[in-house]
Chains A and B, each alone.
Chain A
């Protein structure tokens, strides 16, 4: 329970009983890198948005927009200069309970001395899940990502796409409140990327996880998300929160050739172009 919740009269929430629909709440988040002997770098000036339970939200922005800074701050791996990140009613001060992260470098996030199964099991052990339940969860996660046969191999024996699926399985087995994905498919070939995108959507639909998906790929963001949050360039603020009103059932072939998809994609694309050119909504308002 933070001072702000006390003062605002909001009741403190127990982590186990989510009384709100808001899974992740970013309140005036600001991050400035302060290096002694060097000029300050304001990475994020102000980000304020909410993610509801069960949503799949994508974040895009031009290069250098601080997407990774944002993600690391949400994941509790980075301290904020101001503002706060509230997960399930609790302020995030370190890696929070109920959050799982899938990093871009899948190869380096899986422990090479463990098998696939052991990798997926480890966070569950830490969580204190009893053995039989653990095994069941691991099996289910492996099935969800179609990797049951590879369970007893080592990550480096698998292809890049399979490794990323292991990382996803590990996150999914953990049953987090929010699943953070940091450009997870950037380092994967295009065909595999398409499969993995569909995998994320199907996992999201089956398991009802809340997903925050950071990417630089505009098509991917529109294809996957229910909303697309577009960031400006540095110092980052919100350009626009785009609502993606495509049908819930999507597939690579028909959805991507849909007219509405083209419109949305074009809209996000032009926003990004504006962002790259230095156009900023906060300056707009001042003008």
Chain B
């Protein structure tokens, strides 16, 4: 909200509005970098001075040294690929299933009421409860991870899609019907745009949950992937490698978040919530 606009609305906050965006953005950037440096330096000091046992917390420099070493090794990239692949396939399946089921249930009042109690009951069931089952049936094969990922992500997607379908403005839908739009055209021009922000939210929540479950499956069950390597590193006492893997997995999480935000922005550039965020 620039002060040079014709009217100052009462809700504008002149104190902050007087700071232009460019200096503030770069100031925030510098502060952010400083924050990261503080944490890294702090961890390094704690370790090197022995305040925290270096067997448990090796110096940050050692962690990163180990990380760079890992980057040159074949097993690392193989494991990375397997993790990402498991995540992506599980997420895609959960999205597809969730969107289809969500649209079908959401478009019928009867189905919505009929399935409501079941959904509310099944949804909070922790996916980790399935771990023993899945171990029995699939062992350490990727299908174990697939089941866990899909189960957990599906509910996130389904709930959001149901919200989205329910949120369709009745006025918009009535208008469409009064112009004799067929059901498919209504779905495309009224339901879909309303539901799209919810589908993006579903994608965001589902992606995060899918990653958590994929790593869990690898760590706990032993499905091949970075999670499994992490478990192995820790139990064999390779402490810097353990941290290095944790850092890598963290960055994967960050990458997933950024990717999701990017896609959201592209798909929803027209939506007021995204537009106001950017203003």
User: Is A–B contact present in the complex under a CB 8 A cutoff?
Assistant: yes
**Interface residues of A, dominant DSSP:** loop
- Interface check B188, CB cutoff 8 A: no
Which of the residues B6, B11, B18 comes within 8 Å of A33, measured between beta carbons? B18
**Number of contacts between A and B (CB, 8 Å)?**
50
Residues of A within 8 A of B23 (CB): 36-37
Can you list, as one digit per residue, whether each of B6-27 has a CB less than 8 Å from chain A (1) or not (0)?
A: 1111110011011110110000
Residues of A within 8 A of B6 (CB): 63-64
Task: Report Cα–Cα, A79/B19, bound state, in Å.
Answer: 14
Is there an interface contact between B8 and A38, defined as CB atoms closer than 8 Å?
no
Can you list, as one digit per residue, whether each of A83-112 has a CB less than 8 Å from chain B (1) or not (0)?
A: 000000000000000000001110010000
CB distance from A60 to the nearest CB of B (A): 14
Task: Report Cα–Cα, A68/B17, bound state, in Å.
Answer: 15
CB distance from A40 to the nearest CB of B (A): 9
Of all chain A residues, the one with the shortest Cβ separation from B18 is A35
Which of the residues A34, A103, A183 comes within 8 Å of B18, measured between beta carbons? A34
Residues of A within 8 A of B9 (CB): 68
- Interface check A135, CB cutoff 8 A: no
Is there an interface contact between A182 and B15, defined as CB atoms closer than 8 Å?
no
Is there an interface contact between A33 and B14, defined as CB atoms closer than 8 Å?
yes
CB distance from B210 to the nearest CB of A (A): 36
CB distance from A235 to the nearest CB of B (A): 12
Residues of A within 8 A of B116 (CB): none
- Interface check A39, CB cutoff 8 A: yes
Is there an interface contact between B4 and A41, defined as CB atoms closer than 8 Å?
yes
Residues of B within 8 A of A72 (CB): 10, 14
**Interface residues of B, dominant DSSP:** loop
Task: Report Cα–Cα, A43/B7, bound state, in Å.
Answer: 11
Can you list, as one digit per residue, whether each of B252-263 has a CB less than 8 Å from chain A (1) or not (0)?
A: 000000000000
CB distance from B44 to the nearest CB of A (A): 36
Interface size class of B (residues with CB under 8 A): 10 to 19
Is there an interface contact between B10 and A37, defined as CB atoms closer than 8 Å?
no
Is there an interface contact between B3 and A37, defined as CB atoms closer than 8 Å?
no
Task: Report Cα–Cα, A108/B11, bound state, in Å.
Answer: 10
Residues of B within 8 A of A36 (CB): 19-20, 23
Task: Report Cα–Cα, A36/B19, bound state, in Å.
Answer: 7
Can you list, as one digit per residue, whether each of B189-231 has a CB less than 8 Å from chain A (1) or not (0)?
A: 0000000000000000000000000000000000000000000
- Interface check A155, CB cutoff 8 A: no
Which A19-53 residues have a C-beta within 8 angstroms of B? 33-39, 41, 43
Of all chain A residues, the one with the shortest Cβ separation from B11 is A105
Is there an interface contact between B3 and A33, defined as CB atoms closer than 8 Å?
yes
Residues of B within 8 A of A64 (CB): 6-8
Contact flag A35-B3 (CB < 8 Å), given A72-B14, A78-B14, A78-B15: yes
Of all chain A residues, the one with the shortest Cβ separation from B13 is A77
Contact flag A35-B14 (CB < 8 Å), given A41-B3, A63-B6, A64-B6: no
- Interface check B45, CB cutoff 8 A: no
Residues of B within 8 A of A37 (CB): 20, 22-23
CB distance from A9 to the nearest CB of B (A): 35
Is there an interface contact between A63 and B18, defined as CB atoms closer than 8 Å?
no
- Interface check B115, CB cutoff 8 A: no
CB distance from B202 to the nearest CB of A (A): 29
CB distance from A19 to the nearest CB of B (A): 34
B residues sitting closer than 8 Å to A (CB atoms) are 2-4, 6-11, 14-15, 17-20, 22-23
A residues sitting closer than 8 Å to B (CB atoms) are 33-39, 41, 43, 63-64, 66, 68-69, 72, 78-79, 103-105, 108, 182-183
28 residue pairs A–B, Cβ–Cβ below 8 Å? A33-B3, A33-B4, A33-B14, A33-B18, A35-B3, A35-B17, A35-B18, A36-B19, A36-B20, A37-B23, A38-B2, A38-B3, A38-B4, A38-B20, A39-B4, A43-B8, A64-B6, A68-B7, A68-B9, A68-B10, A69-B14, A72-B10, A78-B15, A79-B15, A103-B10, A105-B10, A108-B11, A183-B10
